[in-house]
Amino acid sequence: MRIAVASGKGGTGKTTVAVNLAVFNSIDLFDLDVEEPNDYIFIKGEAEERIAYRKVPEVKDNCNACGVCKDVCQYSAIYVIDKAYPLPELCHSCGACVYLCPEKAMEEVDYQTGKIVRVKSDEITLTYGELTIGEASAVFLIKQVKELMESTAIIDSPPGASCPMVESVSDADYVILVAEPTPFGLHDLKIAAEVVSELGKKFGVVVNKHGLPFDGVEKYCREEGIEVLGKIPFSKDIAEKYSRGELLQDMKDFFVQLYEGIA
């Protein structure tokens, strides 16, 4: 079973849940928050990395500046003066310009979108992507990291509710939405719940920082019939452990039960 850990709002505790859930149940972990991967801070071991590429057009000498490529590109990623000049950072790698060039003056070449790192700790393997700074879209890299995923995995998703988050949860069998009990947390939980429901995913909620003076998240879950899978207390001790990059050894049972409750 693949379990994705997601949230609309950032900083609600996705990484905490994903890392501890993976380690204490000995399941391989995939950090798909490629813009800001953090799981590696908690999983120590020998690392192996490789460059990840996507395809972008390159212009050959026979370009006659006819401008077809510029006209078909929907992303303003090509400008034409004396010849065509592609802008790889804006390119979506759709391949239309190369295919439609009447002079066959374009070819696709590899362009670095990031790197993929595998870390083998004593307990599990962590696989994560790290997006090259300046790349706009995380989706190409997320897709490549996902190709390494087996049928059992814990997935740490990026925050938000747009394409990178959708891509990250799309192959999961179950989604844990981590929410913090604040008006912000509630607002973004509703958005995230809308996305995963629309994708037809089964999901439940883990309340992190439980004990904050706001009951709106639990009330919402009750009203909507969303299962609250567990609550992690608001505690300085947990926050400090997180700040140092440590696992929550004291809460091992909690994470074992959390997994058993879902699987």
Partner 1 sequence: MKQVAVISGKGGTGKTTFSATIHALDGGVIADCDVDAPNLHILLNPRILKAEDFIGTKKAEIVQDRCSGCGLCYELCRFGAISADGYFVDEKKCEGCAFCFNVCPEKAIEMRDVKTGDIYFSETQWGYFVHARLKPGEENTGRLVTEVKNRAKKVAEDVGSDFLIVDAAPGVGCPVIASLTGVDAAIIVTEPTASGLSDMMRVLELCEHFRIRPFVVVNKYDLNEDVTLKIEKYCSENEIEFAGRVPFDERILEQIANLSFPFSGKAAEKMVECWKKVKEVL
Integer angstrom CA distances of residue 232 from 5, 69, 173, 224: 15, 53, 23, 21
Report how far apart, in Å, the C-alpha atoms of 57 and of each of 62, 101, 136, 237 are: 14, 11, 17, 51
Cα separation, 32 vs 201, in Å, equals 18
Indicate the residue type of 54: R
* Span from 58-66, 80-88, 160-168, 253-261 in contact with partner 1 (CB under 8 A): 160-168
Among 164, 176, 218, 259, binds partner 1 (CB under 8 A): 164
Quick one: which of 99, 107, 112, 227 contacts partner 1 (CB under 8 A)? Answer: 99
Q: How many CB atoms lie within 10 A of CB 231?
A: 17
Which of helix, strand or coil describes residue 66? coil
Q: Does 260 bind partner 1 (CB under 8 A)?
A: no
Nearer to partner 1, 37 or 230 (CB): 37
Per rule CB under 8 A, is residue 162 in the interface with partner 1? yes
119-158: contacts with partner 1 (CB under 8 A): 131, 133-138, 158
Q: Does 74 bind partner 1 (CB under 8 A)?
A: yes
**Contacts with partner 1, 2-41, as mask; x by CB under 8 A:** ------xxxxx--x-----------------x-xx-x--x
- Residue 27 DSSP class: -
CB 36 to partner 1: min, Å: 4
Backbone φ and ψ of 199, nearest 5°:
-80, -5
Instruction: Kindly tell me which of 178 and 262 has the beta carbon lying closer to partner 1.
Output: 178
The pair of three-digit structure tokens given for residue 237, joined into one six-digit string:
């001790």
Q: Is the dihedral of CA 150, 203, 167, 48 positive or negative?
A: negative
User: 165-184: which residues touch partner 1 (CB under 8 A)?
Assistant: 165-166, 180-184
Question: Three-state SS for 53?
Answer: strand
Going from the C-alpha of 166 to that of each of 33, 149, 207, the distances in angstroms are 12, 16, 21
Query: With respect to partner 1, which residue has the nearer C-beta, 188 or 218?
Result: 188
Residues that bind partner 1 (CB under 8 A): 8-12, 15, 33, 35-36, 38, 41, 72, 74-75, 92-96, 99-100, 131, 133-138, 158-166, 180-184, 187-188, 191-192, 194-195, 198-199, 212-214, 236, 239-240, 242-245
